[in-house]
Amino acid sequence: MYVENTPLPAISDMSIGHAMEFFNNLKLAGQRAKIAEKILKEIGDRLKFLVNVGLNYLTLSRSAETLSGGEAQRIRLASQIGAGLVGVMYVLDEPSIGLHQRDNERLLGTLIHLRDLGNTVIVVEHDEDAIRAADHVIDIGPGAGVHGGEVVAEGPLEAIYGGA
């Protein structure tokens, strides 16, 4: 099987970012374009969801058992975005861990988008940018493990840190 002149296994070995570029630049004409229109839109949308949660470097052929916990969590998040559900509560444990700053910004944009759709997004996070993007912060401490577990501060970030 080929997509234009590219064999399907070669497409499967592309990174998600490269595959998105490949499909965005795919030029089909006539009946082929008409047949592929909806399929290409769906492929493009799903690849974009994966790029937006910072997974552009993964290959399409990567098996699930080789993914880190954070990568698997972000794949599940991307699939939820594609489902377009509203009124859902998402609970994420450190989704930004291991992300480049650029990818972290995309992830935060995705979480804000989920919230704006009418969902509740609860995030356990140590990343300062993620904390600053939160509508409501609950700081648990004062330390880690047996030295923590108490609510140290709670509310909008401005109320906690005086306009920080």
- Segment 5-33 mean pLDDT: 95
- Give the whole-number percent of the chain exceeding pLDDT 90: 71
- pLDDT of 163: 57
- pLDDT of 69: 86
- Would you say residue 64 lies in a domain? yes
- pLDDT of 102: 84
User: Which of 26-30, 101-105, 116-120 has the weakest average pLDDT?
Assistant: 101-105
Q: Which amino acid is at 52?
A: N
Question: Number of folded domains in the chain?
Answer: 1
Residue 154 has pLDDT above 90, yes or no: yes
CA–CA separation, 83 vs 24, rounded Å?
21
- Would you say residue 7 lies in a domain? yes
- Would you say residue 14 lies in a domain? yes
The CATH number of the domain holding residue 61 is 3.40.50.300
- Segment 5-30 mean pLDDT: 96
Domain that holds residue 124: 2-133
Return the C-alpha torsion angle 77, 78, 82, 83, nearest 10: -20
- pLDDT of 134: 96
- pLDDT of 103: 86
- Would you say residue 140 lies in a domain? no
- Would you say residue 113 lies in a domain? yes
- Would you say residue 157 lies in a domain? no
- Would you say residue 152 lies in a domain? no
The tens digit of pLDDT for each residue in 47-101 reads: 999 998 899 999 999 999 999 888 998 899 888 888 888 999 999 999 988 888 8
Q: Which amino acid is at 38?
A: K
Q: Which amino acid is at 40?
A: L
- Would you say residue 158 lies in a domain? no
Residue 81 Cα distances to 103, 107, 111, 120, 139, angstroms: 16, 12, 9, 13, 27
CA–CA separation, 61 vs 67, rounded Å?
12
CA–CA separation, 105 vs 18, rounded Å?
20
- Give the whole-number percent of the chain exceeding pLDDT 70: 99
